[in-house]
Chain A
Amino acid sequence: MSDDQPVISVRGATAALGARPVLRGVDLTVGRGEVVALLGANGSGKSTAVRAIIGQVPLTGGTIELFGTERKRFRDWARVGYVPQRTTSSAGVPATVREVVASGRLARRRFGLPTKADRAAVHRAMELVGLADRAQDSVTALSGGQHQRVLIARALASEPELLIMDEPMAGVDLGSQEILAATLREQVAGGTSVLLVLHELGPLEPLIDRAVVLRDGCVVHDGPPPEAVGQHALPGHDHVHPHAADEPLRTGLLT
């Protein structure tokens, strides 16, 4: 595989949720080592685009390729680290930070016992997000920002070449935002490609090579990050912030 081959290549993607078309011909490319931000107002289709790329939303038209392989035939999921948007739904049984992060390692070793290398990778992922000292703590005891760091560590545990993150900064306190930005910076320095769904560029702005702006399921901008601060300056931005940025918030996708 040549180095200039894009890690994500989306061509003319269309998708619908129920009867409502959400993606209406989206083109999106992420090159090797590139950091691309996907911006847009609520309902513009950015989360759907990301979920289509990882195969969680079926396309009604168009193509998606990951590492040059058609998505339906793509099996090498260890190369992709996915950080979902945190939701308020939660699991019903306690789990520690290490247990959750270790589940990300299953992308490398789906069945069979974890080796020393697997455990080391899990530990390294926790170190990267600054939570190694909380490994034995229950994820319910964490703040929203720490929780987000756990989700990122889980994605990093498989040592991916491509990180796909859906709103990694939503509801994350300032301290955690800086740690996340530093973690991401290290990954990018190491050659990882990144596709981020973002609300606003925020502390990640210096990292971002290119921004793709969606509106009503269509790409309206693909190029350098918009001058004005992120999508707040875009027409049609009507997002209501549900919580203050520095409020430690317990959402518990993992709890």
Chain B
Amino acid sequence: MDFLEPAFMQRALLAAVLVGITAPAVGIYLVQRRQALMGDGIGHVAMTGVGLGFLLNSSPVWMATLVAVAGSIAMELIRAYGKTRGDLALALLFYGGMAGGVLLINLSSTGSNANLSSYLFGSLSTVSTADITAISVLAAFVVLVTVGLRRQLFAVSQDEEFARVTGLPVRALNLLVAVTAAVTVTVAMRVVGLLLVSALMVVPVAAAQQLSKSFRATFVLAVATGITVTLAGTVTSYYQDVPPGATIVLYAIGIFIVLTLLATPLAKRRAKAAAQATADCDTRCVPASRRPTDDVKV
């Protein structure tokens, strides 16, 4: 356990765990509403924030948060209102954000391409105490939203039209998901980097649903997968000279493959059980025998 000794490793592991929790926790709602690549888009937009942070000599993390939140709100509004050419508008936003970031960071006196790459691919070993404070505050917000409002966010992501008819504030909840995703991107930026952040939002969820059949189980399993791979990746990068971000993502994909292989026989068995249950039901619930006077409570 000598990897726990150095202070930078303690910070790195703490940051990694927080990312392992928050990224899948938000990602599950994005996957549920089939916006799996939204995290990627936000990551691109956040680049401009990083560049702006360098240019203005302010904290790149907070600046990236601001710009990513603004970008994610723009994306959500485009999704909600501009249905026809939404994909093109999103593409403009993605590449505009990326190009803006590269340009701004080159304009600044302190920034360099080396700096840029630490945000693109993560730089766990340089996580500072100030970074940890920022990451912890942002992660707390993400957990509060994704766990505290899970019923509401589930309903909105499952069937938006129905959610509106239940009277839920659907537009506000959608914006909240977008903002939370943006915050998560900036939390994960130092750990896996902006280019790989989306992987950590999506792959643990994809892996979890190979085994789970409920939303709740998917959520728990995805977060467990997230924590496992971020910790494993960080520790691996301490002993081997490998980049932590890429290692974490490859571990996640590895778990996805393993769970998929495990799940194939399970899925077959479940399909059989479901077919059996359906057949049972068809013989049991003889339709003509059901009348309002039956035992069914009204």
Contact = CB atoms under 8 A, between A and B. Distances in A.
Given A55-B164, A110-B152, A95 B274 contact: no
A178 B168 contact: no
A186 B285 contact: no
A78 interface: yes
Interface in A33-79: 54-56, 75-78
A140 B270 CA distance: 11
Nearest to A80: B165
Contacts of B166: 77-78, 103-104, 106-107, 110, 158
Contacts of A178: 287-288, 290
Nearest to B214: A96
Nearest to B149: A111
Contact of A99 (B162, B214, B271, B274): B214
Given A110-B167, A124-B297, A96 B277 contact: no
Contacts of B32: 91-93
B112 interface: no
Contacts of B298: 128, 186-187, 189-190
A138 interface: yes
Contacts, number: 143
Contacts of B152: 106, 110-111
B205 A130 contact: no
A91 B33 contact: yes
Interface in A116-159: 124, 127-128, 130, 133-134, 136-138, 140-143, 146, 154, 158
Interface stretch (B138-146, B153-161, B176-184): B153-161
Interface in B190-210: 205, 209
* Residue of B32, B157, B158, B164 contacting most chain A CB atoms (<10 Å): B158
B10 interface: no
B290 A182 contact: yes
A61 B151 CA distance: 36
B290 A254 contact: no
Contact of A130 (B34, B218, B281, B291): B281
Given A92-B31, A141-B270, A103 B36 contact: no
17 contacts: A91-B32, A91-B33, A91-B157, A93-B28, A99-B214, A102-B151, A104-B166, A106-B152, A106-B166, A107-B166, A134-B281, A137-B277, A141-B271, A146-B281, A178-B288, A186-B292, A254-B158
Interface of B: 28, 31-34, 36, 149, 151-152, 154-155, 157-159, 161-168, 205, 209, 212-218, 270-271, 274, 277-278, 281-282, 285, 287-288, 290-292, 296-298
Given A93-B157, A179-B287, 9 more contacts: A55-B164, A103-B162, A110-B167, A124-B297, A137-B274, A140-B213, A175-B282, A175-B285, A182-B290
Interface of A: 54-56, 75-78, 80, 82, 84, 91-96, 99-100, 102-104, 106-107, 110-111, 114, 124, 127-128, 130, 133-134, 136-138, 140-143, 146, 154, 158, 174-175, 177-179, 182, 185-187, 189-190, 248, 253-254
